[in-house]
């Protein structure tokens, strides 16, 4: 494996420019060598291609790719990248469906190629301290509030409301990725109600009932129309006190007392790329599908309600 790892970005939307580009540029382990985008645009003077096939045919030396496309088209692109022998970093959610993600996992293992289903919120600074504190305690119940304004965080991104675009579950899967990381037992879906705008194909809000394997109830309120203060909070009541993980995993309090954690909310992607740097040379497959499976289960049991049309 070369050092630095030569990496190409596929999909040059907001998340690629806001997170992936600066993280790669600041990490000496990686060298950004090309971009791929159907809408054009690149970074600095790097070679830019309209398709993965064009990149493969160009002769540009590549060791790995990060896929930042909408999930609906990701499986075919990732499959082709694996066929090229390139390690693949998948933005969350890793695929549009569970079966697509499983197929990619199996294909990467068969080809001996690295594959990483990234969950950036698990790398927020307070998540690991929360997991450690909860590990030897009995969870009595928990609540999740994931409420943000889609117009602020995904302005004009119609794909997010198309089938396979996840709607409110695009941000809410971050909450599920944290919950499945910090809670000591597995989570199961008991029921859900989802609201879908009359002119859209994916949910804009949801109310979800879950339960841990040990029987503790977990309630989640998910909202894509939050005004004012945005909320990304997980509260857990235990037999030995209460935990509050807030600001998307950036802040932690125990029994009302704030704990000091590193200010690394915008360093989540640095943690992801540190992990990917291990995966690439080891040709490892790191693909935890628990958050994606929960989203699929929610839709299997949910009562669907049509609500007012949504427009930007």
Catalogue the active-site residues. Answer: 92
Dihedral of the alpha carbons of 177, 178, 184, 190, in degrees to the nearest 10: -60
Half-sphere exposure (Cβ direction) of 178: Cα atoms closer than 13 Å: 34
For residue 65, is the peptide bond before it cis, meaning its omega torsion is within 30 degrees of 0?
no
Give the closest residue to 86 by CA, choosing from 299, 298, 276.
276
Give the H/E segment covering residue 206. Answer: strand 205-212
- Whole-angstrom distance, CA of residue 268 vs CA of residue 124: 5
Angle (CA) 212-218-219 rounded to 5° is 155
Asked if residues 92 and 177 have their Cβ atoms less than 8 Å apart, the reply is yes
Tokens of 25: 């540029």
Q: Which residue blocks in 141-224 are alpha helix, DSSP H?
A: 150-153, 169-182
45, with CB counted inside 10 A (0-12, 13-18, 19+), is: exposed
For residues 36 and 57, give the distance between their C-alpha atoms in angstroms, rounded to a whole number.
Answer: 13
Strand order in the sheet with 285-286: 48-49, 30-36, 5-10, 64-67, 87-90, 115-117, 285-286
The CA distance from 187 to 219, in Å, is 11
Q: Phi-psi bin for 281: left (phi > 0), alpha (psi -120 to 50), beta?
A: alpha
- The SS3 assignment for 305 reads strand
The residue among 228, 230, 267, 275 whose CA lies nearest residue 250 is: 267
């Amino acid at each position: 494996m070369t050092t630095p790892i030569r990496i190409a970005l596929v999909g040059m939307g907001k998340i690629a420019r806001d997170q992936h580009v600066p993280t790669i540029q600041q990490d000496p382990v990686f060298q950004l060598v090309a971009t791929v985008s159907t809408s054009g645009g690149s970074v600095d003077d790097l070679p830019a291609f309209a398709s993965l096939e064009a990149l493969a045919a160009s002769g540009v030396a590549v060791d790995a790719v990060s896929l930042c496309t909408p999930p609906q088209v990701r499986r075919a692109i990732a499959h082709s990248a694996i066929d090229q022998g390139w390690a693949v970093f998948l933005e969350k959610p890793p695929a549009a469906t569970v079966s697509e993600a499983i197929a990619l996992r199996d294909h990467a293992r068969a080809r001996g190629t690295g594959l990483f289903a990234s969950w950036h919120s698990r790398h927020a600074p307070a998540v690991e301290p929360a997991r450690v504190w909860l590990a030897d305690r009995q969870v009595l119940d928990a609540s999740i509030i994931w409420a943000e304004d889609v117009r602020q965080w995904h302005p004009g991104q119609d794909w997010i409301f198309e089938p396979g675009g996840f709607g409110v579950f695009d941000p809410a899967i971050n909450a599920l990725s944290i919950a499945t990381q910090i809670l000591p037992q597995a989570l199961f879906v008991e029921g859900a109600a989802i609201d879908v705008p009359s002119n859209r194909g994916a949910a804009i809000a949801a109310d979800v009932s879950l339960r841990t394997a040990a029987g503790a109830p977990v309630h989640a309120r998910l909202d894509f129309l939050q005004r004012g203060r945005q909320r990304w909070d997980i509260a857990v009541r235990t037999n030995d006190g209460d935990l509050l993980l807030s600001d998307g995993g950036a802040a932690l309090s125990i029994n009302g007392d704030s704990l000091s954690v590193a200010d690394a909310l915008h360093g989540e992607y640095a943690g992801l790329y540190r992990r990917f740097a291990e995966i690439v040379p080891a040709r490892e497959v790191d693909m935890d599908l628990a958050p994606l499976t929960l989203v699929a289960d929610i839709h299997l049991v949910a009562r669907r309600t049509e609500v007012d049309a949504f427009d930007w």
